[in-house]
């Protein structure tokens, strides 16, 4: 029941940004918010603990990045980015740097002067759950274009992104990773 409730909360926020859509239901989300891409987030330590999933789908004006992450430290704030390479090998190091199709500096995700992979920090609630719902205008889910995020990876860091320090916001160690693949 808890799972249903928390999924509903994501959907409510996702629906607020959605247009009508009639795609048949597939996977673990209902038809109204069918994503094109997904990433299963797992810690990069030996436990490979599942921390929830991230999703991406095109909407008017950009790509909606949304999801719910669990198993975090209550009250803690974490950086999360899209990194360049679609691998979590070598404790996430092989994912490389922040996805940066437009050769920008690292920055606040709401500014055009930021990496295409820069996203807002997430903060866990009292139950260790954090939600993301953000639209990036400069990425695509289409695997055929240069700014695609298909076959790249989300990385969650141990600390918060200061949105200023180069090249990665002084976000701390790589804590969890998920390769972005077809939904």
The tokens describing 172, both together, are: 């701390």
* Residue 161 binding Zn ion, by CB under 5 A: no
Q: Give least dist CB 95 to Zn ion, A.
A: 13
Torsional class of 126: left (φ above 0), alpha (ψ -120 to 50), beta (otherwise) = alpha
* Residue 98 binding Zn ion, by CB under 5 A: yes
Give the Cα-Cα-Cα angle 131, 106, 116 (nearest 5 degrees).
Answer: 60
Kindly indicate which of the ranges 23-31, 82-90, 105-113, 138-146 contains the residues binding Zn ion, using the contact rule CB under 5 A: 105-113
Task: State how far the Cα of 123 lies from the Cα of 89, in Å rounded to an integer.
Answer: 26
* Residue 152 binding Zn ion, by CB under 5 A: no
* Residue 157 binding Zn ion, by CB under 5 A: no
Instruction: State which residue, 61 or 167, has the beta carbon closest to Zn ion.
Output: 167
Kindly indicate which of the ranges 63-71, 72-80, 93-101, 139-147 contains the residues binding Zn ion, using the contact rule CB under 5 A: 93-101
| Nearest CA-CA partner of 92 in 160, 158, 26, 154 | 154
* Residue 83 binding Zn ion, by CB under 5 A: no
Q: Give least dist CB 17 to Cu ion, A.
A: 24
- DSSP string covering 67-92: EEE-SPPTT-EE-EEEESSS--TTTT
Instruction: State which residue, 10 or 176, has the beta carbon closest to Cu ion.
Output: 176
* Residue 41 binding Cu ion, by CB under 5 A: no
* Residue 115 binding Zn ion, by CB under 5 A: yes
Residues 55-94 that bind Cu ion (CB under 5 A): 81
Kindly indicate which of the ranges 31-39, 86-94, 102-110, 120-128 contains the residues binding Zn ion, using the contact rule CB under 5 A: 102-110
* Residue 106 binding Cu ion, by CB under 5 A: no
Rounded to the nearest 5°, which phi and psi values hold at 14?
Answer: -65, -40
* Residue 155 binding Cu ion, by CB under 5 A: yes
- Residue 57 and residue 114 in contact, taking contact as beta carbons nearer than 8 Å: no
The HSE-up count of residue 115 (CA atoms within 13 Å, CB side) is 24
The tokens describing 73, both together, are: 């430290």
Q: Give least dist CB 32 to Zn ion, A.
A: 31
């Amino acid at each position: 029941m808890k799972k249903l409730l928390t999924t509903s909360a994501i959907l409510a926020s996702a629906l607020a940004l959605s247009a009508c859509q009639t795609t048949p239901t597939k996977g673990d989300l209902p038809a109204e918010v069918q994503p094109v891409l997904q990433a299963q987030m797992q810690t990069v330590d030996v436990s490979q603990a599942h921390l929830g999933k991230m999703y991406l789908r095109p909407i008017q004006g950009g790509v909606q990045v949304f999801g719910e992450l669990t198993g975090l430290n209550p009250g803690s704030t974490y950086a999360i980015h899209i990194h360049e390479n679609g691998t979590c090998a070598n404790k996430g190091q092989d994912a490389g740097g922040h996805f940066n199709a437009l050769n920008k500096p690292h920055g606040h995700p709401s500014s055009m002067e930021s990496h295409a992979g820069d996203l807002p920090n997430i903060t866990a609630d009292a139950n260790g759950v954090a939600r993301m719902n953000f639209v990036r205008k400069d990425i695509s889910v289409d695997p055929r274009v240069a700014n695609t995020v298909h076959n790249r990876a989300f990385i969650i860091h141990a600390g918060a992104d200061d949105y200023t320090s180069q090249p990665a916001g002084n976000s701390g160690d790589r804590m969890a990773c998920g390769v972005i693949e077809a939904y």
